[in-house]
Structure 1
Amino acid sequence: MTLPLSPDELLSTTRSVRKRLDLDRPVPIELVRECVEVAVQAPTGGNRQSWHWMVVTDPGLRAEIGKYYQQAFDRYRNSPTYGGDVSEHSDERRAVQARVTSSAEYLAERMGDVPVHVIACIEAGEELPASNQAGLWGSLLPAAWSFQLAARARGLGSAWTTLHLRYEKEISELLGIPLNVRQGVLLPTAYYTGDTFKPATREPLDTVLHMDRW
Structure 2
Amino acid sequence: MSPDELLTTTRSVRKRLDLTRPVPAELVRECLEVALQAPSGSNRQGWHWVVVSDPELRKAIGGYYRRSFGAYRASGGSAGSLFEDDPARAATQRRVSESAGYLSERMGDVPVLVLGCIQTPGGLPEGNQAGLWGSLLPAAWSYMLAARARGLGTAWTSLHLAYESEIAELLGIPADVRQGVLIPTAYYTGETFRPAHRQPLDEVLHLDRW
With the shorter chain as reference, the TM-score category is over 0.9
Instruction: Determine the structure 2 residue equivalent to 1:86.
Output: 83
Q: Which amino acid aligns with 1:86?
A: F
Relative to structure 1, the CA distance from residue 179 to residue 126 in structure 2 (aligned partners, 3 Å threshold; closer, same or farther) is farther
CA distance in structure 2 between the partners assigned to 1:85 and 1:172 by the alignment: 32
CA distance in structure 2 between the partners assigned to 1:160 and 1:44 by the alignment: 19
Q: Which amino acid aligns with 1:70?
A: R
Relative to structure 1, the CA distance from residue 71 to residue 126 in structure 2 (aligned partners, 3 Å threshold; closer, same or farther) is farther
Instruction: Determine the structure 1 residue equivalent to 2:18.
Output: 22
Shift in Å, 1:88: 3.0
Map Cα deviations across residues 80-128 of structure 1 (whole Å, 9 max, x no partner).
2112420232x22221111100000000000000000000000014631
Shift in Å, 1:208: 0.6
Q: Which residue among 174, 177, 182 is the counterpart of 1:178?
A: 174
Q: What's the TM-score, normalizing by structure 1?
A: 0.96
Q: Does 1:99 find its partner at 2:95?
A: yes
CA distance in structure 2 between the partners assigned to 1:72 and 1:134 by the alignment: 24
Q: What's the TM-score, normalizing by structure 2?
A: 0.98
Q: Percent identity?
A: 68
Q: Which amino acid aligns with 1:88?
A: D
| 8 Å CA contact retained: 2:64, 2:160 | yes
Unaligned runs of 5+ residues in structure 2 are none
Map Cα deviations across residues 160-190 of structure 1 (whole Å, 9 max, x no partner).
0100000000000000000000000000000
Matched residues, number: 209
- Name the Cα RMSD after superposition: 0.9
| 8 Å CA contact retained: 1:125, 1:182 | no
Q: Does 1:32 find its partner at 2:38?
A: no
CA distance in structure 1 between the partners assigned to 2:66 and 2:76 by the alignment: 18
| 8 Å CA contact retained: 1:87, 1:94 | yes
Q: Does 1:130 find its partner at 2:143?
A: no
CA distance in structure 2 between the partners assigned to 1:140 and 1:208 by the alignment: 25
Unaligned runs of 5+ residues in structure 1 are none
Q: Which amino acid aligns with 1:74?
A: G
Deviating beyond 4 angstroms after TM superposition, the runs of 4 or more aligned structure 1 residues are none
